[in-house]
Copies of this chain bind each other. A is one copy, B any other.
Amino acid sequence: MRTISCLQSDLQGVGVEHHALDCLVHALQDFGEVWEEVECMLASSKYVWMSNMTPLEPGGNLVILGSGWGGYSLLKKLDTSKWESVTLVSPRNYFLFTPLLPSVTVGTNEPRSIIEPLRKIVMKKNKKTGLQNTRYLEVDAKHLDLARKICYCEDITSIKATDDLLEVPYDKLVVAVGAQPNTMGVPGVLEYTHFLKEMDHARLIRKNVLDSFETACTATSDERKIELLHFVVVGGGPTGVEFAAELRDFIREEISQAYWEVAHLAKVSVIQSAENILNTFDAAISRYATDHFKRIDIEVVKNSRVKAVEASAVVVQDMATKEEHRIPFGVCVWAAGIAPRPFTKDLISQLKDCQPENGRLLKTTPYLEVLGGKGDLFAIGDCAGVAEPELLPLAESLFDEADINKDGKISFEEYEVIYRKIRER
């Protein structure tokens, strides 16, 4: 949280909407992580960014795309009275508290308990301001017409008003559409595995886990029962690990009584491409988690990649020996990270002159302004990333400025002078 609060204080006094950024900073942990890397260059980077920065003037029509951590938190903190209209666009009419999603798969939490209807916050905003200027549209953003400043949206639910795309005009637009599960191009993932990113995914996993146990009770051979009761999680990141642990507890505490005939045959496995699970965390945590899984009988299939998924088995390759083998499953959950949504890719390609080549994230300034968006586009969350300044030229110019006596070295006195200058800026 140190980096986060540092960032916050740094943004005070900058001509962007404080409420919104304050909230973004809180909400987006990954933004904080990127920040960690550029923190030491903060003062210097301002040279680059500040020159291109147009302070954001509230007013006009604000459109927010997405109802996740980015979009929802932004709307919650936003002073909507400063805008002519505020429109939240999302195919999902509620905010989902994703960290508790794994617990819904085993019934520890009810779906209703981990969502917040968007209509509630919209009503609150309109009541507070006395204006009816805030609204929500249950449609999916498909494409931006940057010249005409129109967002084209499609109703992707079963009941549609029309077959045409809906045109939503904007003055300022915040892209907070998140990301989608990453299949890594592995065949069979879409057909035979479950993602765990939305409420419907959690419901379906719950249904299928119980179905596996019910079906095992009707199976005639122990071999088939063992196959049906093998729950395979692909990916040892936070989602996969959390789900595997919840499922194991559920089997131990609930299933073992209700399905006493077959519960002892159940097993949970995690397939992980690295040596340990949670390998983006501190090495000690990562090792501890792996050891703990061993103690509680969750098998970690280490250093292995899934090459293909079949109707009821994954084909796994050992990354060292390159040997392949089939692992049968009853239910397979695919938690192998995220990939950009088509909307994000489309926007990146529209802005290709200002965005890095083959980018997977909408690159922004540290003030979350989309590079190439002409001050009208902002992006936050899983679809966005702060562009790192080009460090080498900056470092060279800083060094030149610091080396007052031009002896090719920076003495402590020289360092003190340049440090003070940077702080002042």
Contact = CB atoms under 8 A, between A and B. Distances in A.
Contacts of A215: 138, 155, 157, 159-161
A422 interface: no
Contact of A219 (B161, B220, B228): B161
A198 interface: no
A138 B228 contact: no
Contact of A157 (B158, B214, B331): B214
Contact of A161 (B132, B161, B218): B218
Contacts of A162: 219-220, 224
Contacts of A160: 215
A224 B163 CA distance: 13
Nearest to A107: B112
Interface in A137-177: 137-139, 155, 157-162, 166
Contacts of A132: 260
Residue from A119, A120, A228 with most neighbouring chain B CB atoms (10 Å): A119
A113 B258 CA distance: 19
B120 A218 contact: no
A310 to B, nearest CB: 14
Contacts of A257: 123
Contacts of A138: 211, 214-215, 217-218
Given A166-B218, A215-B157, A228-B161, A258 B123 contact: yes
Interface residues of A, number: 41
A390 to B, nearest CB: 44
Interface string A241-270: 000000000000000011111000000000
Contacts of A137: 214, 217-218
A203 to B, nearest CB: 9
B211 A158 contact: yes
A135 interface: yes
Contacts of A218: 137-139, 155, 161, 166
A208 B123 contact: no
B217 A259 contact: no
Contacts of A331: 159
A100 interface: no
Residue from A139, A217, A218, A224 with most neighbouring chain B CB atoms (10 Å): A218
A110 interface: yes
Contact of A258 (B119, B217, B260, B330): B119
A117 interface: yes
A290 B158 CA distance: 32
Given A119-B259, A135-B217, A160-B215, 9 more contacts: A117-B258, A123-B257, A123-B258, A137-B218, A158-B208, A159-B215, A159-B331, A161-B219, A162-B224
5 contacts: A120-B258, A132-B260, A137-B217, A157-B215, A159-B215
10 A-B pairs with least C-beta separation: A138-B214, A161-B219, A119-B258, A159-B211, A157-B211, A159-B215, A161-B215, A161-B218, A159-B212, A137-B218
